[in-house]
Structure 1
Amino acid sequence: MNRNEILKLAIKTWGVDAQTNCAMEELAELIQAISKFKRGYDNKEDIIDEIVDVQIMIDQIKLICDIDDTMLEKRATYKLQRIKNRLEE
């Protein structure tokens, strides 16, 4: 079973509502890990784990919302250019 098959099965098994809630929870856990890091904790492994959890949930949200990588790349290019423009001002 490949990555997308696993993600689709998770969505089918637990449902869209549960998986979107889980995505929000994982984002909150990443925020907590970053906050601890800012307070001086040596929690690199926790941050790595939370980033991975968030990435998995983002991949599920992409499937739920029918968003493909081309759409994301196009928008990322636009936003990165906007950041570059601001930096050059």
Structure 2
Amino acid sequence: MQEVLQAAIDKWGKDMQLTVATEELAELIKEICKYVRGIGNKEHLAEEVADVEIVLSQLEIIYGKERAIKNYTSNYSFKSVKRSLIQLMDFITDEDAKYATDMVIWKVRKKTEWLKDTLCLHPDVYRIKIQKIERLATLIEQ
């Protein structure tokens, strides 16, 4: 999987992958809102979680991993994740981009894990991620 994600970064560039990451995070936020309002469905939510997990892996490749973030155990709300995403856009060209990105990645990963646990999405997300990575590999080869 890492090789495919790196190949996508190499083919389309870091800036494009950052744009895709922003789009995917926004789509997850939209699906969460629909689900909370009672008009969403688990399949769409699982698909967006899978997309976000894929782009988070790409962000980790682009910016590296901050080990201190992995040990941080506070609980955050989705609003704080959204605020962090907005703050990230201010930092993206700054020297602090790596730290800000690591923090956002950590927060979003915590929330996607909570979603998968709460809604029993693990099998769906795994299946969708594999399908999407296979499609991505095909696109890279073209």
TM-score computed with the length of structure 1 as normaliser: 0.77
Structure 2, gaps ≥5 residues long: 76-142
Measured on the aligned residues, the alpha-carbon RMSD in Å equals 1.4
Preserved CA contact (<8 Å) 2:20 2:55 = yes
State the match for 2:61 in structure 1.
63
From 62, 73, 76, the equivalent of 2:70 is: 76
Preserved CA contact (<8 Å) 2:28 2:52 = yes
State the match for 1:49 in structure 2.
47
CA distance in 1: counterparts of 2:61 and 2:5, whole angstroms: 8
Say whether residues 1:13 and 2:7 are aligned partners: no
Deviation at 1:66, TM superposition (A): 1.8
State the match for 2:27 in structure 1.
29
State the match for 1:86 in structure 2.
none
CA distance in 2: counterparts of 1:4 and 1:60, whole angstroms: 8
CA distance in 1: counterparts of 2:3 and 2:29, whole angstroms: 28
Post-superposition Cα deviations, 1:27-73, rounded to whole Å, max 9, x if no partner, equal 000000001011112411111000000000000000000226xx1xx
SS of aligned partner of 2:38: coil
CA distance in 1: counterparts of 2:24 and 2:14, whole angstroms: 15
Count of residues in correspondence between the two structures: 75
From the CA coordinates, give the structure whose radius of gyration is larger: 1
SS of aligned partner of 1:27: helix
SS of aligned partner of 1:12: helix
TM-score computed with the length of structure 2 as normaliser: 0.49
